Amino acid sequence: MKNLDQENKRQTGEQMYKLAKTLFPIARSITGAGARKTLQLIKRKIPIKISEVPTGTKVFDWNIPKEWNIWDAYIKNSKGQKILDFKKSNLHILNYSIPVNRKIGLTELKKHLHTLPDHPDWIPYLTSYYKEDWGFCLSHNQYKKLKNEIYQVFIDSELENGNLTYGELYLRGKSRDEVLISTYICHPSLANDNLSGIILTAFLAARLSRQARTYYSYRFLFIPETIGAIAWLSLNEEKSKNIKHGLTVTCVGDSGQPTYKKSRQGDAPIDKAVEKVLAESGQPYKIISFSPADGSDERQFSSPGFNFAVGSLMRTPYSRYAEYHTSADNLSFIGPAYLADSLDKYLKTIFILENNMKYANLNPKGEPQLGRRGLYRILGSQKKITLNEEAIFWVLNFSDSKNDLLDISLRSGLKFEDVKNAAYALLEKDLLAKI
Q: Which residue ranges make up the site for a second copy (CB under 8 A)? A: 59-62, 95, 114, 116, 124-131, 133, 226, 229-230, 233-234, 237, 264, 291-294, 299-300, 302-307, 319, 324-326, 361, 363-369, 371-372, 378-382, 384-385, 389-391, 393-394, 396-400, 412
C-alpha span between 171 and 213 (Å, rounded)? 9
Residue 33: CB minimum distance to a second copy, A:
20
Residue 220: CB minimum distance to a second copy, A:
20
Residue 386: CB minimum distance to a second copy, A:
10
**Cis ω on the peptide bond leading into residue 90 (within 30° of 0)?**
no
Quick one: 213 or 384, whose CB is closer to a second copy? Answer: 384
Quick one: 211 or 421, whose CB is closer to a second copy? Answer: 421
Residue 91: CB minimum distance to a second copy, A:
11
**DSSP output for 38-107:** HHHHHHTTS-PEEEEEETT-EETTEE---EEEEEEEEEE-TTS-EEEETTT-GGGBPBTBPPEEEEEEHH
Q: Residue 26: which of 149, 252, 199 has the closest Cα?
A: 199
Quick one: 149 or 400, whose CB is closer to a second copy? Answer: 400
β-strand 286-288 against 400-404: which pairing, if any? unpaired
Residue 241: CB minimum distance to a second copy, A:
12
Query: Cβ contacts of residue 390 below 8 Å, gap of 6+?
Result: 412, 414
Query: Cβ contacts of residue 220 below 8 Å, gap of 6+?
Result: 46, 48, 168, 169, 170, 171, 181, 182, 183, 201, 204, 205
Quick one: 349 or 412, whose CB is closer to a second copy? Answer: 412
Q: 210: left (phi > 0), else alpha (psi -120 to 50), else beta? A: alpha
C-alpha span between 163 and 96 (Å, rounded)? 14
Quick one: 148 or 382, whose CB is closer to a second copy? Answer: 382
Residue 413: CB minimum distance to a second copy, A:
9
Quick one: 173 or 197, whose CB is closer to a second copy? Answer: 197
Quick one: 222 or 290, whose CB is closer to a second copy? Answer: 290
β-strand 259-261 against 286-288: which pairing, if any? parallel
Residue 289: CB minimum distance to a second copy, A:
8
Return the amino acid letter for 207: R
Quick one: 128 or 281, whose CB is closer to a second copy? Answer: 128
Residue 22: CB minimum distance to a second copy, A:
26
Residue 320: CB minimum distance to a second copy, A:
11
User: Phi and psi of 351, rounded to 5°?
Assistant: -60, -45
C-alpha span between 271 and 312 (Å, rounded)? 9
Q: What is the maximum span of the chain, computed from C-alpha positions, in angstroms?
A: 93
Contact call for residues 156 and 93 (beta carbons, < 8 A): no
Quick one: 212 or 379, whose CB is closer to a second copy? Answer: 379
User: Phi and psi of 64, rounded to 5°?
Assistant: -60, 125
Contact call for residues 164 and 231 (beta carbons, < 8 A): yes
C-alpha span between 297 and 197 (Å, rounded)? 12
Residue 8: CB minimum distance to a second copy, A:
33
Quick one: 46 or 391, whose CB is closer to a second copy? Answer: 391
